[in-house]
Structure 1
Amino acid sequence: MCADRVSTAVRSRIMASIRGKDTKPELVIRSILHKRGLRFRLHRRDLPGKPDLVFPKHRAVLFVHGCFWHGHNCHLFSMPRSRRDFWQQKITRNCERDLEQRQTLIESGWRVATVWECALMGRSRLHVAEIGEYCAAWLKSEVAELDVRGREAEPL
């Protein structure tokens, strides 16, 4: 196992500075959907998982997930070498929570979409307009779920 290169206090400060909302990928998605005339609410606390975007008119929610934090199987994810057990447990629990929240939303009559970070950046990224088209078409449809990933795994 590899030791951390910074002190515990420095690592704690770095981790505390990582945003949970208004991330760059989220802002990109919000911008492209707003330009398409789609209106939404942000981070509704009364819904499981506080979805990043909520489309009440379409009874739909959209999550913008970071590939690392949500354990996505893509080129942007790699398990840290230090404190491997801690990270394995944390990421596994995040994935379990995502699944529970998604299921609760669907059972409550909401449709659920996820746009993964790898769809927006890295070698497998899609064109932003393409992501906007996927999301807009999904919102107008009756399809219950949408999963937008990078090119290595086409959207469902």
Structure 2
Amino acid sequence: MDNLTSEQRSLNMSRIRGRDTKPELQLRKGLHALGYRFRLHVHNLPGRPDLVFPRYSAVIQVNGCFWHGHDCHLFKMPTSRHEFWAAKIAANKERDKRTNLALSNEGWRVLTVWECSLKGVKRQPLSEVLDCCGRFLRDDAVDAAVISSL
């Protein structure tokens, strides 16, 4: 049972951002400080990736563990309206697969950085996450890599 009124719930949901999230801003600031230059949310690429590195033919997606259904300590399926949330998260996962495939087909390498790698009790040091991102960008052979707290 939801303890909030529909107006309160609507206000809470309206404040959830799809871009410029704290994990994304952390990653952007760190990569920029290391000398990597990127474009943000490029509209003509599938899925509008969070960070686009044209020089490296690579994109980095920063995924929230709840919204993308990551199997980690930050994800818990809601108990109210279970069917709605299960369908929504499953659709998000399917869309992520299609987007990554479309990006790959267009010649882009894809790295997914999960929110749990930057936040929560199992987070990794930011320097390690940035180092992994840097290795991904410099290594042409890597494709569809994932950084997670698991």
Q: State the TM-score bracket (shorter-chain normalisation).
A: over 0.9
CA-CA distance at 1:145 after TM superposition: 2.0
Partner deviation per Cα, 1:62-99 (whole Å, 9 max, x = no partner): 00000000000000000011111111111110000000
Q: C-alpha distance in 1, partners of 2:59/2:85? A: 28
CA-CA distance at 1:52 after TM superposition: 0.5
Name the counterpart of 1:140.
138
What residue identity is the alignment partner of 2:91? R
Name the counterpart of 2:119.
121
Q: C-alpha distance in 1, partners of 2:3/2:90? A: 24
Q: Secondary structure at the match of 2:96?
A: helix
Alignment of 1:1-156 (within 5 A): 3-142=1-140, 143-150=142-149, 153=150
* Identity score, percent: 50
- The runs of 5 or more residues in structure 2 that have no matched partner are none
Count of residues in Structure 1 that have an aligned counterpart in Structure 2: 149
Runs of 4+ in 1 over 2 A off after TM superposition: none
TM-score for the superposition, normalised by structure 1? 0.94
Partner deviation per Cα, 1:97-146 (whole Å, 9 max, x = no partner): 00000000001110000100000011110000000100001100011122
Q: Secondary structure at the match of 1:96?
A: helix
What residue identity is the alignment partner of 2:84? F
What residue identity is the alignment partner of 1:126? Q
Q: Secondary structure at the match of 1:114?
A: strand
Q: Secondary structure at the match of 2:90?
A: helix
CA-atom RMSD, angstroms?
Answer: 0.7
Q: C-alpha distance in 1, partners of 2:106/2:145? A: 17
What residue identity is the alignment partner of 2:129? I
What residue identity is the alignment partner of 2:101? Q
